[in-house]
């Protein structure tokens, strides 16, 4: 028995991926994991999950939850569900409109290897639908989201930002990929995408962190339809390359029981069951124009991102684009 465990440990150490496959996480989930191009001018980099808890206080209706666990950790975060459930907000100590902005909003800049130091800013969640069909979700976390500029006004800033790609596999072969973009997104065939080896690229929007298949300018006025120009523009380029799997927790999710299982005993589990928001609530009396405000509420976590999907897209109709699209300045690696 000890010999078997030692052999498993040796294989894990020799893996090309720092997060090694386990009995529940197929190796191909790591082999085909997206690489993320962060925008060259984006000051809001990927962030450590625990750091978000360290800089926030759980509140309901702008009132501190006095009975909250202390310290609050990824291993006890779900205890807040009994203290307010979906009404709980992880509220920043200094407030979303603090000037100057707290340094932790900026997250961690990836190094030359694509690693964000010792922080963990990504979660991989695998959903096995049976019959060889497996969905692998790659979640990316940022401490702060900078909204769009429309007619000289800024809308949609919020603390906490969960984005993701999802790859649908059939018998271990990637078929299609979802790119989350604001309230919607896009799906492409695996073959249509730019790649480094077999790993597809995902381009992160400047400030908003919406995910796109190519570098350039993207209008998302109409959800799911990206045009070269318009009123709501995201910008992507090949700024800094982030390899999320270098700092990732990995899990499986069973839709029949709505339960998560950690891919390693070292990975915290409770945080995935937290039903509250990963940032501040929208400030009271926040002015808005046409229902849109500068500062808005933070998001829910991965559990609320349609993990049990029938199609690659979280909703229907689901259009999976087969087009091979390249940015003008893109080069194959």
Residues 6+ apart with CB under 8 A from 224: 181, 184, 185, 186, 319
Q: Is 254 helix (H, G, I), strand (E, B) or coil?
A: strand
User: Per-residue pLDDT for 8 more than 70?
Assistant: no
Cis ω before 100 (30° cut-off from 0) = yes
Q: Which two tokens stand for residue 104?
A: 């932790």
Span 264-273, mean pLDDT? Answer: 96
The strand pair at 184-189 and 195-196 is best described as unpaired
Residues 246 and 114 sit within 8 Å (Cβ to Cβ): yes
What is the per-residue pLDDT across 82-115, written as a single tens digit (0 to 9) for each? 999 999 999 999 988 888 999 999 999 999 999 9
DSSP annotation of 298 reads: P
> What DSSP element (H or E) covers 164?
strand 158-170
CA torsion through residues 203, 205, 207, 208, sign: negative
Span 294-321, mean pLDDT? Answer: 96
pLDDT of residue 59: 98
At residue 183 the predicted structure's pLDDT band, cuts being 50, 70 and 90, is: confident
CA torsion through residues 281, 285, 287, 289, sign: positive
The whole-angstrom separation of Cα 123 and Cα 22 is: 15
The whole-angstrom separation of Cα 183 and Cα 186 is: 11
Separate counts of helices (H) and strands (E) for the chain: 3, 23
In the chain, domain spans: 30-321
Closest CA to 241 of 33, 15, 16: 33
The whole-angstrom separation of Cα 172 and Cα 210 is: 27
What is the per-residue pLDDT across 185-231, written as a single tens digit (0 to 9) for each? 999 999 999 999 999 999 999 999 999 999 999 987 777 777 777 67
pLDDT of residue 324: 52
* 21 or 296, greater pLDDT: 296
At residue 290 the predicted structure's pLDDT band, cuts being 50, 70 and 90, is: low
Residues 160 and 279 sit within 8 Å (Cβ to Cβ): yes
Return mean pLDDT, the chain. 89
User: Per-residue pLDDT for 240 more than 50?
Assistant: yes
pLDDT of residue 6: 37
């Amino acid at each position: 028995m000890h010999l078997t465990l030692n052999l498993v440990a040796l294989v894990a150490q020799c893996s090309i991926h720092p997060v090694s496959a386990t009995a529940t996480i197929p190796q191909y989930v790591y082999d085909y994991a997206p690489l993320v191009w962060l925008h060259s001018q984006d000051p809001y980099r990927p962030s450590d999950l625990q750091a978000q808890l360290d800089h926030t206080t759980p509140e309901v209706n702008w009132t501190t939850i006095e009975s909250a666990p202390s310290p609050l950790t990824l291993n006890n975060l779900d205890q807040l569900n009994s203290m307010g459930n979906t009404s709980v907000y992880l509220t920043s100590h200094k407030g979303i409109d603090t000037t100057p902005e707290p340094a932790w909003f900026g997250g961690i800049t990836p190094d030359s290897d694509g690693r964000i130091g010792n922080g963990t800013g990504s979660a991989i969640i695998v959903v096995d639908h049976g019959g060889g069909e497996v969905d692998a979700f790659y979640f990316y976390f940022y401490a702060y989201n900078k909204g769009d500029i429309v007619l000289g006004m800024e809308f949609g800033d919020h603390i906490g930002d969960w984005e993701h790609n999802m790859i649908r596999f059939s018998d271990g072969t990637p078929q299609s990929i979802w790119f989350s973009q604001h309230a919607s997104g896009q799906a492409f065939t695996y073959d249509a995408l730019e790649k480094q080896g077999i790993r597809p690229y995902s381009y992160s929007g400047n400030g908003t962190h919406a995910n796109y298949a190519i570098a350039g300018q993207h209008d998302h006025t109409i959800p799911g339809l990206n045009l070269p120009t318009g009123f709501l523009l995201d910008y992507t380029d090949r700024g800094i390359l982030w390899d999320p799997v270098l700092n990732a927790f990995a899990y499986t999710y069973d839709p029949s029981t709505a339960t998560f299982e950690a891919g390693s005993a070292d990975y915290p589990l409770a945080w995935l069951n937290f039903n509250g928001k990963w940032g501040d609530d929208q400030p009271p009396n926040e002015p808005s124009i046409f229902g849109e405000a500068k500062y808005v509420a933070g998001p829910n976590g991965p559990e609320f991102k349609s993990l049990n999907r029938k199609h690659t897209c979280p909703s229907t109709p689901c259009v999976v684009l087969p087009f091979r699209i390249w940015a003008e300045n893109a080069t194959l690696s």
